[in-house]
Amino acid sequence: MESLIIRGGRELRGEVRIGGAKNAALPVLISALLTDQDLLVANVPHLRDITTTLELLGRFGARIEVDEKSVITVNAGTLTSRRAPYELVKTMRASILVLGPLLARFGEAEVSLPGGCAIGSRPVDLHVRALEQMGATIAVEGGYIKASTSGGRLHGAKIVFDTVTVTGTENLMMAASLAQGTTVLENAAREPEVIDLANCLIAMGARIVGAGSDVIEIEGVSSLSGASHRVIPDRIEAGTFLVAAAVTQGEMHLHDVNPAHLDAVTARLRDAGAEISMTESGVSLTMRQRPRAVSISTAPYPGFPTDMQAQFLLLNCVAEGAASVTEHIFENRFMHIHELQRMGADINLHGNTALVQGVKQLGGAQVMATDLRASACLVLAGLVAREQTVIDRIYHIDRGYDCIEEKLSQCGADIRRVSDSRSPRVHAVQ
């Protein structure tokens, strides 16, 4: 396994180009299953989850090509399998997104129950119940979701989600694109990634209105065509780098971002004392003093994103004052607290709320990443800690951040990646 070694205490100053959004690229690539023609997708980030998705599409028999500009072409004209195996699905919960497209186009699918970050229950029953409303017959056997349609195509239905679900909205939006009749999704997710998928599907010939609101209407068509699509920028990567600059009292300019997608994050950073300016596709942040503590409460978009909770919890750990961090989306997304406490953070957890008292300095330690965003939080902690921090199990961070150590190094961070063969690394922090 690999680890990151960080020597903290440096102000970050520089420019970073933000990549495509992982959470948008995954469903867009999977939407290629809905057509027998080429889907060309640009601005796809180089991440482990993307590699897993392409391997999964390849297992189905799809043809995949990458050109010199890193545009990925997927052609699912001839598939040899409708089965998503456990060995791939176990690493990535987004794999459940193949269920709707396979069922809509081919009338059958067999998908392993998904894995991914261990951050709490993200049940697939919302997907299953909705597809059953559209005429699917579904059983869960041996750890697999086995789905089929007895009458050919799925049919339109009115679906009201019990809770807001991004993957549920995306799965059903794809399935409904090839269903017979009209489907209405109520209490739908409003995230930019949902809008991005809708725009890709519309380019393929789908009839979708309302994406970005809590009611989406899809009029099914008999077939979809090929298309070209450029994935939106990653708002979570952008937010993470902005927090990195803030906690190190530095200065950073981000290129290739959509500032409107960052409203909830930049508002809290301004509350923390950051100076922020924006252009059409860029954001600049300057922090001239120790951050002020800011309370946050996660909520579905356009509320504060759960994927930025860990980074802001870290900001509060080194801020002036005290604040609360409340998690409303996932019930088990505070596992990074124990690692931060080992570095000297003053945090008390009460149910789904963490009470944080800022300290002037964290200390370096050997810590372990527990999920994707927790690993980003620990990287930020290492950037502000005195002495050396070693972060193990960084395969989590490679699922969502492309070359994070290289981008941070370009801004002045002392960070490097090592393999276990470079031991005994732990001696440096004892």
For range 362-377, the mean pLDDT: 91
- The predicted pLDDT at position 426 comes to 38
Contact criterion met (CB below 8 Å) for 37 and 414: no
Please tell me the total number of residues recorded for the chain in this structure: 430
> Distance between CA atoms of 238 and 162, rounded to whole angstroms?
31
Average pLDDT over the chain, rounded to an integer: 93
For range 218-234, the mean pLDDT: 98
- The predicted pLDDT at position 250 comes to 98
For 324-354, the pLDDT digits (tens) are 999 998 766 788 999 999 999 999 999 999 9
> Distance between CA atoms of 151 and 181, rounded to whole angstroms?
14
- The predicted pLDDT at position 120 comes to 40
Q: How many CB atoms lie within 10 A of CB 202?
A: 17
> Distance between CA atoms of 80 and 63, rounded to whole angstroms?
11
Beta strands in 54-190 (DSSP E): 63-66, 72-75, 83-84, 108-112, 136-141, 144-149, 158-160, 182-186
Beta strands in 247-386 (DSSP E): 251-255, 275-278, 282-286, 296-297, 322-326, 346-350, 353-357, 366-368
- The predicted pLDDT at position 50 comes to 95
What is the value of pTM for the model shown? Answer: 0.94
Lowest mean pLDDT among 18-27, 116-125, 211-220, 310-319: 116-125
For range 223-233, the mean pLDDT: 98
Is residue 117 part of the annotated active site? The answer reads yes
Residue type, 367: V
**Considering 117, 200, 317, 411, which one is annotated as catalytic?**
117
For range 210-217, the mean pLDDT: 98
For range 248-270, the mean pLDDT: 98
Return the DSSP state at 291. P
